[in-house]
A = this chain, B = another copy of it.
Amino acid sequence: ACRSCSGAPSVARAAVLKESSSLPEDMPQIKGYDFNQGVDHRALLQSFLTTGFQASSFGQAVQEINKMIEKRLEPVQEEQESCDSHSSASGCTIFLGYTSNLISSGVRESIRYLAQHRMVDVIVTTAGGIEEDFIKCLAPTYLGEFSLKGKELRQQGINRIGNLLVPNDNYCKFEDWLMPILDQMVLEQKTEGTHWTPSKMIHRLGKEINNPDSVYYWAYKNDIPVFSPALTDGSLGDMIYFHSYKNPGLVLDIVEDIRRLNSKAVFAKSTGMIILGGGLVKHHIANANLMRNGADFAVFVNTGQEFDGSDSGARPDEAISWGKIRMDASPVKVYADASIVFPLLVAETFAHNAARLIKEKNSD
């Protein structure tokens, strides 16, 4: 079929002009958004599916989360509900994980929306992912720059998180708020035998903050368990450490929490994982889903790469080898900073289906 270029080295011609087998007819063709039709953001985001690279991954992530939502909205049979107290009332138990920095950023408002309307069922985050939410109820975080000098900032008592700035006074305010609660927790432990775990402490803090801007206020209101096994690794740990000198004895047990988390996966009808960032939050949710021989749906959004063998950077296909994602699932990883991608994902999934999701919740 190819024209002959007489004279040119034949090996080169043959290599360059190798004929191709035909591709399946239904294979999607690459085609981006045509701005001649005006700026229609929804249509633009839908065109991402046929744009290629991470735009296509974004489009696939929208589809994967919408599958979780459809499954979630399926009617659940009475029998199933009654026979097992652990069993979820939802057709799909959605695990949401995120690293601390996302709570520091404006992604917090997207997460708060999901908690407020009980659109997710289980949350896993790090210590900073807990405390920064409460601290933001006490004082604001600011936009700075990545290149601000650490020494000058320290001299002024300003902490940097990427291009965000948090005045150190915010942590002083956090101490003022937290210390009496810690006193109360120790008292309850001693007088009522309360067996504290990270998830119970977070639940209590969510109640105490009593502020509708808080993710964990809504998690408390909507009974969404929040797991953070290394809860001492942050400002909360600093305060617990200080507090231990004037009022020692608090115990935070991580064994009861692992049983509780695993049960959420084991007794779910189906599960979906939405994980922003890597490290503990990614591993902890995936490991819980191993207990059910794999999640049914999964979306990862992070900037990690597989080449260094980290769990953070591993492709979802690695999780399939472990039984953390089902062999027949179609998990999606979007290689991107979640600050851009997650609000857009929420727009095209949970928020787009808000009416149906909120109705379902209220009819529980």
Residues of the B chain whose Cβ atoms lie less than 8 Å from the Cβ of A179? 3, 5
- 0/1 string, A251-262, CB within 8 A of B gives 1: 111110111001
Among A75-83, A87-95, A314-322, the stretch that binds chain B is A314-322
CB distance from A301 to the nearest CB of B (A): 10
From residue 94 to 144 of chain A, which have CB atoms closer than 8 A to chain B? 99-101, 104-110, 113, 116, 126, 128, 136, 140-144
Partner of A113, one of B3, B35, B161: B35
Among A8-16, A65-73, A203-211, the stretch that binds chain B is A8-16
Known A36-B113, A39-B347, A341-B340: A321·B15 in contact at CB below 8 Å: no
The answer to whether B35 and A110 touch across the interface, beta carbons within 8 angstroms, is yes
Known A142-B23, A153-B321, A309-B101: A347·B233 in contact at CB below 8 Å: no
In the complex, A283 Cα to B100 Cα: how many Å?
11
In the complex, A309 Cα to B53 Cα: how many Å?
6
Partner of A241, one of B8, B100, B246, B252: B8
CB distance from A353 to the nearest CB of B (A): 10
Residues of the B chain whose Cβ atoms lie less than 8 Å from the Cβ of A235? 16
Partner of A44, one of B2, B153, B343: B343
Residues of the B chain whose Cβ atoms lie less than 8 Å from the Cβ of A311? 99-101, 128, 161
Partner of A340, one of B9, B55, B258: B55
In the complex, A344 Cα to B344 Cα: how many Å?
11
In the complex, A104 Cα to B27 Cα: how many Å?
16
The answer to whether A11 and B337 touch across the interface, beta carbons within 8 angstroms, is no
Residues of the B chain whose Cβ atoms lie less than 8 Å from the Cβ of A280? 126, 230, 233, 279-280
Q: How many residues of A contact B (CB 8 A)?
A: 177
A163 lies within 8 A of chain B by Cβ: yes
Residues of the B chain whose Cβ atoms lie less than 8 Å from the Cβ of A2? 172, 175-176
A149 lies within 8 A of chain B by Cβ: yes
Partner of A106, one of B55, B167, B243: B55
Partner of A47, one of B106, B140, B310: B106
From residue 142 to 170 of chain A, which have CB atoms closer than 8 A to chain B? 142-144, 146-151, 153-165, 167-169
In the complex, A332 Cα to B195 Cα: how many Å?
43
In the complex, A305 Cα to B329 Cα: how many Å?
25
In the complex, A245 Cα to B52 Cα: how many Å?
37
The answer to whether B232 and A157 touch across the interface, beta carbons within 8 angstroms, is no
Known A109-B31, A229-B233, A246-B6: A259·B241 in contact at CB below 8 Å: yes
In the complex, A96 Cα to B41 Cα: how many Å?
23
- 0/1 string, A293-311, CB within 8 A of B gives 1: 1100000001111111111
Partner of A101, one of B28, B53, B110: B53
Known: A20-B167, A35-B350. 14 other contacts (CB 8 A): A19-B169, A27-B144, A27-B165, A29-B142, A31-B109, A126-B280, A162-B307, A162-B318, A229-B229, A229-B254, A231-B254, A238-B287, A241-B258, A305-B305
Can you sample 6 A-B contacts with CB below 8 Å?
A28-B143, A29-B140, A54-B337, A150-B327, A233-B258, A238-B291
